[in-house]
Amino acid sequence: MAIQSRKESWFIPTIADNCGFVVVETNFKMYAYSTSKLHCEILRLFSKIEYQLPNLIVGAITKESLYNAFENGITTEQQNAHPRVADKIPSVPKNVCDQIRLWESDLNRVETTPAHYYDEFPSRDVFEAACDYARDQSGLLWEDSKKMRLVVNAEIHMHMREFLRGQNK
């Protein structure tokens, strides 16, 4: 079943199954013409379902819903276009594609690592020995030689404490 749009750039269908399809608007609204509960659950993986009628699922693509999708292994490159728009690139409105890519890149921008911060070394020699030890253990994450501060990953923290106790004797 095909739906005519008021403006061609507003509604872009993508495949949901042989009997229905998904329409994505430039305002991130999504309409899926399907009676399948499975389709609803699949759509729930990357969108916020607002309501469901007997043959229509209405939702929105949100930052939070996409973060959930990205955490479940869905990427921006996974896209199945409806045959009528498959030749168009992109088959989803450009502003929607761009925003989804930006949200995905947000997640890949920063990586957290459990770590421990050290400062107040009794001498420059002890600080430099601690930096060398952390480097040798592949655990040095950051150092500030001027102010004698360093950060090591949590995996070597216990060994680092023992090492520093030995240096202070």
pLDDT in tens, 55-112: 899 999 999 998 888 888 887 776 555 556 556 655 678 898 889 888 888 877 777 8
pTM over 0.85: no
Which sign, positive or negative, has the C-alpha torsion 59, 60, 61, 64? negative
Place of tokens 């202070």: 168
Which value, in Å, is the radius of gyration of the alpha carbons in the chain? 26
Dist. CA 81–CA 105, nearest whole Å: 23
DSSP secondary structure, 32-50, as one string:
E----HHHHHHHHTTSEEE
| Share of residues in the chain with pLDDT > 90 (%) | 38
Min mean pLDDT across 2-6, 100-104, 127-131 is at 2-6
Per the CB < 8 A criterion, the answer to whether 17 and 36 are in contact is yes
The whole-number average pLDDT for the span 115-126 is 93
Of 134 and 69, the structure prediction assigns the larger pLDDT to 134
Q: Which bin fits 44, alpha (ψ -120 to 50), beta or left (φ > 0)?
A: alpha
The residue type of 50 is E
What's the pLDDT at 165? 86
Domains of the chain: 21-108 (no CATH), 115-167 (3.30.70.2610)
Residue 19 has pLDDT above 90, yes or no: no
Mean pLDDT of the chain: 81
Residue 5 has pLDDT above 50, yes or no: no
Rounded alpha-carbon distances, angstroms, from residue 152 to 116, 128, 132, 161? 5, 14, 11, 11
Residue 137 has pLDDT above 90, yes or no: yes
Residue 164 has pLDDT above 80, yes or no: yes
